[in-house]
Amino acid sequence: MTDLLGEKGANLAEMMKIGIPVPFGFTVSTEACTRFYENGGKLDPAVHAEICAKVAELENVMGKRLGDSENPLLVAVRGGAPKAMNGTLKTILNLGLNRDTVGALERMTGDRRFALRNMLDFLSSYSSIVLGIDEDRFLALNQEKRREAGAQDGDRLSLEDLQALEVSYRRLIVEETGSPFPEDPLEQLEEGMIAILKEWMAPDVIAYRKMHQIPDEPGIAVTVQAMVYGNAGSSSGTGIVLTRDPSSGQKRLYGEFLIDAKGSEMQKGIRSPLDLSIMQAAFPEAYERLKHICEILERQYRDLQYAEFTVQQGKLYILQTRRGRRTAQAAVKTAVDLVKEELIDRKTAVLRIDPVFIENLLAPRFDPEQEEEAVTIAQGIEASPGCACGRLVFSPEQALQLHQIGEPVILVQKETDADDLSGIYASSGIVTQRGGITSHASGAARAMGKACVTSVGDDIEIADDLNSMRAGEQTYYRGEYISINGFKGCVYEGQIRMIPPDLSGDFGKIMGWADEFRTMKVRTNANTPEEAQQGADFGAEGIGLCRSEHMFYQGSRLRQIQKMLLTQDPEEKQEAMEEIKRIQRSDFFDIFTIMEGLPVSVRLLDLPLQDFLPESDADLEDFAKEEGLSLFGVRQKADALRETNPMLGQRGCRLCIMHPELTVMQTEAIISAAIEAEEKMGRQVDLEIIIPLVISVHELNRVKDLVKKTADRIMKDAGHTIEYRIGTMLEVPRACMRADALAGSVDTFSFGTNDLTQMMYGLSRNDTAGLISEYMDQGIFPDDPFKTIDRDGVGKVMERAITLGRKVKPNLRLGVCGAQTGDQRSVEFFHELGMNYVSCSPFRVPVARLAAAQAAIRLGNGKEE
């Protein structure tokens, strides 16, 4: 019904149906809006007739009549769209008031001031919405009168002043429109409705719709409801209620209340609202009724509900209800409790949890009270979730130094790159001036589960000597404590207390239910034994992407890689390679044993080699000096590796082919580690070797042959055969279009949706964070395609690849390991595509588990309860 009646109207109709005491009323459906615009901005005669009939009905039910000088019907007229539009649509209250009926209102309430105030409010709001007079003009008259009267803040105007004000209001209306204020309530109603219908095409409402992708049709519905007054004296009041505690999820009424007040007063926060216990004391009967109604609402909507209510002279009215917002914790508890209360089933409970909440639950958080009081230093983009406190540092070296003596650090830099990884690793949180959610800092932080705020821009200015930074008037020195909130993109002064996450209890229950319904496996991207362990702890069913090169970023390892790449002496190169192999083998061994026989997909070297080089020329000089290498030779080697567009350069299987010795070294490390792990565990390692960045099947076969030959040799030498699969990354668009050719050579397609998106869009993640956010602001991109998979473009070639691949090999295994695997809508799409698994960063594993379960439930092809 929401399409026809709007959200508010439909809710109202439903509440009336189940006997909730709402102010009686009716809704003119969205069809009237459509016809209004088809008619060139005129009310359809049929609609006009319908309104008259509905008004008559309302008059009968209420026993009041519009414009009746004894017992007048006063109404509220509200616009409502099928999708809530967060206060962009207008409401006219007290419609029906005029010179006559205002007297009746006074008589009914026995409160002249009340009647006059309502009249004034109606005059100004109607004039602003319907007659187009700026509301500030009325406000100015009001101020002027207060000045004349010498009223101080908090003083009320006298009745005479209010009367005089009404005169000036009416004079202003005549001046502006050339006619007196319309006294006929039916005219007021029709013009009011037209004005609300016209709002639908107001520039700011159109802008809001565009931004939230709400279609123009169906348009707006208009609800006409009898007025009730919370400000009709001391036996009246207004409030909001939630059926459960929205912070904890505990089952108890939660809300706020104001005695003798309009709803708008609470919204505007002019008066401090009271706890519901005050209401219980003041209006015990209304309170009991509210409690009962809350139970009805929960039974009806089977969820934590939010409601706005008014008590008019002791009688309770519910004005509207909707699903109540809640914290992650409350969401989980409520879902579990509602299952216990047999209001919802487990599928519904699983569907109720927004996967984004899960991420919130998993990351350590600040004590909200302390955070509120903290001084904000800078505001940026929420690049990686989590909260962290630590000592301020401005370089990886400073970070390592403090980290080594056990101090938590927050690394603040202009931006980060591969050279900074050991520094990032040593830090509890990262702040950068540049880059967005897909910048290097953000990616690295997410992968390592560190909080990160990027794009703080000019909020801070780092001193050249890297010993302090300025933020506004304030200077913060290296070593001082700061705190960052990666959920909000905030950087604070000092230390804020942390609250640990609770992963057992209700959370565990929900995740368990999710796993029951889920059909798609969830693995983790893990590059180190630590990450593998984290992933496993979060319930990963294997490793979908182990980027072997990421192992190199720790401590002295990078130095070995650099030696291998930059020395011109074959023996030294060989030594460095042996050392790297030893390190890799040991890491792989740990990873295999941690995963205890769950699948592990190891990707061969993918990064451009230049990413491993010392960054500046000075660094290169230092390196040559320290390693005792010829600077000329080192420079020559480094120059040969540098590329103008490294993302499109010599990386992935191109490296495997151009530098077969690297392929051999890596295969030796992987296979011998697997042999060792099998021997130690006494069980099989489920190993897959993934060949990245493949363009053509010839490339793939070339590398596959070398891997097989090497593996055969190692296994023969060890006298131990292990089983392993070969997979390929589908990340180059051409590979997707040639998937039929590739499928014959592999067991698995692993879609690398980061690179695939990058190449499908011709858009580098590193260089265009600003562009992407600008495009989203302008509505060019509905989403960041690196965060939410682009179904229409990238998705189309993925579909094509799957169709082509499965035609050749029906049991082809399919997985995804891009950053989108942590995103709900993307996971749903991957489920639809029939992926066997998605693989995401450890901290996203529960998110993906939940999202995959929801997709399975929604599409009705999940496992049965």
Instruction: Write out the catalytic residue numbers.
Output: 440, 817
The residues facing 451 across adjacent strands are 429
Q: Which is nearer to a second copy, 531 or 699 (CB)?
A: 699
Q: Are strands 490-493 and 376-379 parallel, antiparallel or unpaired?
A: antiparallel
Question: Does residue 647 bind a second copy (CB under 8 A)?
Answer: yes
- The single residue among 124, 454, 758, 841 that binds a second copy, judged by CB under 8 A, is 758
545 neighbors 817 (Cβ within 8 angstroms): yes
Least distance to a second copy, CB of residue 761, Å? 5
- H or E stretch at 484: strand 481-485
Residue 40: alpha-carbon gap to chain centroid: 40
Least distance to a second copy, CB of residue 523, Å? 24
Question: Does residue 790 bind a second copy (CB under 8 A)?
Answer: yes
CA nearest to 674, candidates 607, 757, 586 = 586
If you compute the radius of gyration of the chain from its CA atoms, what whole number of angstroms results? 33
Question: Does residue 781 bind a second copy (CB under 8 A)?
Answer: yes
Q: Which is nearer to a second copy, 597 or 793 (CB)?
A: 793
DSSP state of 131: I
Instruction: Compute φ and ψ for 738, nearest 5 degrees.
Output: -115, 25
Least distance to a second copy, CB of residue 695, Å? 5
Cα distance between residue 821 and residue 823, in whole Å:
5
Site size toward a second copy (CB under 8 A) is: 48
265 neighbors 258 (Cβ within 8 angstroms): yes
Q: In what order do the strands lie in the sheet with 75-80?
A: 25-28, 221-226, 75-80, 91-95
Q: Which is nearer to a second copy, 106 or 621 (CB)?
A: 621
Q: Which is nearer to a second copy, 504 or 644 (CB)?
A: 644
At residue 22, the 3 state secondary structure works out as coil
Question: Does residue 649 bind a second copy (CB under 8 A)?
Answer: yes
The residues facing 389 across adjacent strands are 483
829 neighbors 792 (Cβ within 8 angstroms): no
Question: Does residue 742 bind a second copy (CB under 8 A)?
Answer: no
Question: Does residue 454 bind a second copy (CB under 8 A)?
Answer: no
Question: Does residue 206 bind a second copy (CB under 8 A)?
Answer: no
- The single residue among 654, 704, 813, 831 that binds a second copy, judged by CB under 8 A, is 654
- The piece of 86-94, 102-110, 216-224, 645-653 that touches a second copy (CB under 8 A) is 645-653
Least distance to a second copy, CB of residue 649, Å? 4
Q: Which is nearer to a second copy, 70 or 774 (CB)?
A: 774
- The piece of 49-57, 59-67, 302-310, 650-658 that touches a second copy (CB under 8 A) is 650-658
Q: Which two tokens stand for residue 497?
A: 């207390």
Least distance to a second copy, CB of residue 392, Å? 24
Q: Which is nearer to a second copy, 120 or 693 (CB)?
A: 693
Question: Does residue 702 bind a second copy (CB under 8 A)?
Answer: yes
- The single residue among 501, 775, 788, 808 that binds a second copy, judged by CB under 8 A, is 775
Q: Which two tokens stand for residue 765?
A: 């993640």
Least distance to a second copy, CB of residue 589, Å? 33
Question: Does residue 606 bind a second copy (CB under 8 A)?
Answer: no
Strands (E), 237-386: 237-242, 254-259, 274-275, 305-312, 315-323, 365-366, 376-379, 381-384
Cα distance between residue 565 and residue 107, in whole Å:
93
- The piece of 168-176, 534-542, 590-598, 762-770 that touches a second copy (CB under 8 A) is 762-770
Longest dimension (CA), the chain: 106
Least distance to a second copy, CB of residue 721, Å? 30
- Ramachandran region of residue 223, left (φ > 0), alpha (ψ -120 to 50) or beta? beta
Task: Please name the residue that has the structure tokens 């593996």.
Answer: 711
- Cα atoms in the Cβ-side hemisphere of radius 13 Å centred on 285: 9
Question: Does residue 84 bind a second copy (CB under 8 A)?
Answer: no
- Residue count of the chain, please give it: 865
- The piece of 141-149, 368-376, 519-527, 689-697 that touches a second copy (CB under 8 A) is 689-697
Q: Which is nearer to a second copy, 401 or 764 (CB)?
A: 764
- The piece of 11-19, 320-328, 594-602, 649-657 that touches a second copy (CB under 8 A) is 649-657
Q: Which is nearer to a second copy, 420 or 731 (CB)?
A: 731
- The single residue among 459, 699, 784, 828 that binds a second copy, judged by CB under 8 A, is 699
- The piece of 177-185, 418-426, 624-632, 648-656 that touches a second copy (CB under 8 A) is 648-656
Terminal-residue alpha carbon distance, the chain: 30
Least distance to a second copy, CB of residue 642, Å? 9
Non-local (6+) Cβ contacts of 340 within 8 A are none
Q: Which is nearer to a second copy, 37 or 208 (CB)?
A: 208
Least distance to a second copy, CB of residue 261, Å? 46
Amino acid at 308: E
CA 12, 14, 19 angle in degrees (round to 5)?
Answer: 95
Q: Which two tokens stand for residue 611?
A: 């990413």
Question: Does residue 214 bind a second copy (CB under 8 A)?
Answer: no
Q: Which is nearer to a second copy, 496 or 816 (CB)?
A: 816
565 neighbors 641 (Cβ within 8 angstroms): yes
Non-local (6+) Cβ contacts of 263 within 8 A are 230, 238, 308, 310, 319
Strands (E), 195-252: 221-226, 237-242
- The piece of 403-411, 453-461, 529-537, 785-793 that touches a second copy (CB under 8 A) is 785-793
Cα distance between residue 818 and residue 802, in whole Å:
17
Question: Does residue 648 bind a second copy (CB under 8 A)?
Answer: yes
- The piece of 134-142, 151-159, 303-311, 794-802 that touches a second copy (CB under 8 A) is 794-802
- The single residue among 82, 324, 429, 733 that binds a second copy, judged by CB under 8 A, is 733
Question: Does residue 245 bind a second copy (CB under 8 A)?
Answer: no
Least distance to a second copy, CB of residue 461, Å? 12
- The piece of 25-33, 101-109, 276-284, 764-772 that touches a second copy (CB under 8 A) is 764-772
> x/- site string to a second copy, residues 796 to 825, per CB under 8 A?
xx----------------------------
Amino acid at 722: I
Question: Does residue 754 bind a second copy (CB under 8 A)?
Answer: no
Question: Does residue 755 bind a second copy (CB under 8 A)?
Answer: yes
Cα distance between residue 388 and residue 428, in whole Å:
6
Question: Does residue 637 bind a second copy (CB under 8 A)?
Answer: no
Least distance to a second copy, CB of residue 839, Å? 21
Least distance to a second copy, CB of residue 759, Å? 5
Amino acid at 717: D
- The single residue among 32, 93, 259, 732 that binds a second copy, judged by CB under 8 A, is 732
Least distance to a second copy, CB of residue 195, Å? 31
Cα distance between residue 864 and residue 860, in whole Å:
9
Q: Which is nearer to a second copy, 62 or 695 (CB)?
A: 695
CA nearest to 584, candidates 671, 652, 650, 525 = 671
Question: Does residue 794 bind a second copy (CB under 8 A)?
Answer: yes
At residue 49, the 3 state secondary structure works out as helix
Burial class (CB in 10 A: 0-12, 13-18, 19+), 215: exposed
Cα distance between residue 412 and residue 406, in whole Å:
18
Work out whether the CA dihedral 222, 226, 231, 236 comes out positive or negative: negative
Residues that bind a second copy (CB under 8 A): 643-650, 654, 657-658, 693, 695-696, 698-699, 702, 731-734, 737-738, 741, 755, 758-764, 766-768, 771, 774-775, 778-781, 790, 792-794, 796-797
